[in-house]
Amino acid sequence: MDNEYFRGHLIDHAHGRIVFGIKGWRDAPSSTRERIEDGVGEFVACRWSRDRVRIDRDYFGNARLMHTSAKGVVAVSDSLLLLTSLRRVLSASVTPDEEVLAARAAPSQIAGQQISPRTMVREVSFVPPWVRIELCVDRLAVQEVTRSAASMLSAGESSVGADREVLRATAISMTRTAASLADFGSWRSVIHLSGGLDSRAVFAAVHAASGIGEAAYISRTRCGEATERDNAVARRLAFEFGLVPTDIDEATAWPMLRPADGFRLWAAGLAGVYDGFGPLGPRRRAAHDFELFGLGAGAHKGAWGWRSLDAIRDAATHTGPVRDALDAQLKVSAAGLGVDAGARNASELYYFGYRNGLHSGAEHIGLHMTGISPLQNVAFAQLGHSLGPDGRFYGECGEGILSLTALLSPPAAVFDYDTPRHSWTLNDAVNRQRDLGGPLSGPETSPYAQFGDPERIPQGPSQLALAMARAAGFPDEYSSAAALRYSQENLELIAGPLVDIYREVIANARWRLSRSQGDLFAAELPLARSMMLGLFRAVS
């Protein structure tokens, strides 16, 4: 390839390297550049020559990727709004996919995001994780080069000691990543901390890498007693270990810092692809913060119960056209992912393909690509889908992340959790650490070699996408009243049975708002779905 472009960051565990930014990609060793297909992090890489363009992104699919073709044009973007707007400008068709729209109306997070390669717009296709695309310039054609989710995650039976090797290797990669981030002078690490297991493992990696040092934390309370308890645990943990809060006390100030055009910010990147309002918080985060997330752990431990696709379909909705549409879409998903729909880990393979990465990147990736999810580790994900001697999947057993945390920091592993079922004694944690080879030390905690500069990674929203959101009439007032008003107007953009289906979606949003005293987070699932219909609005 003659030319290259790289945006975001890549962590090459195999060679002990971390690459940031556009210039950093060119400076990276060729061995790292050749491993782009297996790269973790948050990035999009583009290479092009006279006759071909190749586009890769991170293994877990944190960066969204869609494509469309029209007469004389082929386009790729992370924004469904931009692709539909481009088609309208070119006077090309923008057609609602009725089956997709009906399936997405199921009142469950199982349908709370892109659910197959087909988007809500017939002429736009979604690219699942571990699939790269190549554009043939002379024919303006798109070719998807695929490897199935089933083949890449299914590791067969777990051999004796395999869990020990993988857990230790994962702990080392997490710790070395955390140590590398602490090396960037004016940059600091900010941990998104909750009372649960996943963010605790990330916290433990930071603790194992260099102590807490200059690291800070964010914790968030949305509504209800459960999240208040979760937040309280996170704050106690931070106080005990000396982790400082950020300048924003999220429990009180965060909701008030939502930008006035928050719906347009959401529409610019997530509309139609992820049914949750984001990015969260202020328009721009601090310019020199690496944000560390426990998100993405579902690739290892699962999220939807280790069951068949029929079982999650039945859990998501009842009889009727919505159920029929969801059933059809899940079959499309299974075929594309290489998944046996009746397999006991089918739900988790589907989760990996259509929820894990989108959910992990949703709250920040529209503003920056310096979010770090240390639990997104290929071998750790594969371990979760390996079968143990008892016939259960390793991730199904539920102790992988707690064991990982114990290896990294026994005191962090046994500190209070939001629910007592995760609690081990300190003796339990120390014994597990010993079983896994003892505390990390020496080279196991050393920083990775670093290439490039995180300053070169662009920050802030796409101004073009925001302009398209404004042209499509997405509200400039971030309120439940504006969301309901826009949703109601969008019913005019669809026809037939979909109108009644989406009336029910809006009714569900009103009910959720009434129960939560108008909290938009409580109603974001149905509101996002009814507002995404604005993509069919003609761009003025």
pLDDT at 460: 85
- Percent of the chain, pLDDT > 90? 66
Which residue has 């308890």 as its token pair?
A: 229
Beta strands in 255-374 (DSSP E): 289-292, 371-372
Q: Per-residue DSSP letters for 360-388? A: HHTTTTTT-S-EE-TT--HHHHHHHTSB-
Tens-place pLDDT, residues 65-118:
999 999 989 999 999 999 999 999 999 999 999 999 999 999 999 999 999 999
Strand pairing report for 216-218 and 188-192: parallel
For residues 424 and 313, the model is more confident at 313
**Strand, helix or coil at 217?**
strand
Tens-place pLDDT, residues 410-458:
999 999 998 877 778 999 999 999 999 999 999 999 999 999 999 889 8
Residues 162, 2 contacting (CB under 8 angstroms): no
Continuous segment of H or E residues that includes residue 75: strand 73-77
Q: Which of 271, 296, 299, 341 is nearest to 119 (CA)?
A: 271
Residues 535, 138 contacting (CB under 8 angstroms): no
Q: Per-residue DSSP letters for 391-414? A: SSBHHHHS-HHHHHHHHH-HHHHH
The one-letter code for the residue type at 135 is: L
Continuous segment of H or E residues that includes residue 55: strand 52-57
Q: Mean pLDDT over residues 511-522, rounded? A: 91
pLDDT at 251: 47
Q: Mean pLDDT over residues 507-512, rounded? A: 97
Residues 490, 537 contacting (CB under 8 angstroms): yes
User: CB burial class (10 A; 0-12, 13-18, 19+) of residue 306?
Assistant: buried
Report DSSP state, residue 353.
I
Greatest Cα pair distance, the chain, in angstroms, is: 68
The mean of the pLDDT values for the chain is: 90
Kindly tell me if the per-residue pLDDT of 58 is higher than 60.
yes
With bands split at pLDDT 50, 70 and 90, how would you rate the model's confidence at 211? confident
Which residue has 């297991």 as its token pair?
A: 197
pLDDT at 3: 86
C-alpha to C-alpha distance for 292 and 289, rounded to whole angstroms = 9
Strand order in the sheet with 188-192: 244-245, 216-218, 188-192, 289-292, 371-372
Kindly tell me if the per-residue pLDDT of 466 is higher than 60.
yes
**Strand, helix or coil at 205?**
helix
With bands split at pLDDT 50, 70 and 90, how would you rate the model's confidence at 281? low
**Strand, helix or coil at 66?**
strand
C-alpha to C-alpha distance for 482 and 513, rounded to whole angstroms = 13
Q: Mean pLDDT over residues 267-286, rounded? A: 81
The residues, any chain, with a CB within 8 Å of residue 428's CB and separated by 6 or more, are 406, 414
CB atoms within 10 A of CB 389: 8
Continuous segment of H or E residues that includes residue 155: none
Strand order in the sheet with 141-146: 141-146, 131-136, 52-57, 40-48, 3-12, 17-20, 449-452
With bands split at pLDDT 50, 70 and 90, how would you rate the model's confidence at 284? low
pLDDT at 387: 87
Kindly tell me if the per-residue pLDDT of 329 is higher than 70.
yes
Cα dihedral across residues 286, 373, 34, 366: positive or negative: negative
pLDDT at 38: 82
With bands split at pLDDT 50, 70 and 90, how would you rate the model's confidence at 223? low
pLDDT at 382: 92
Q: Mean pLDDT over residues 5-10, rounded? A: 93
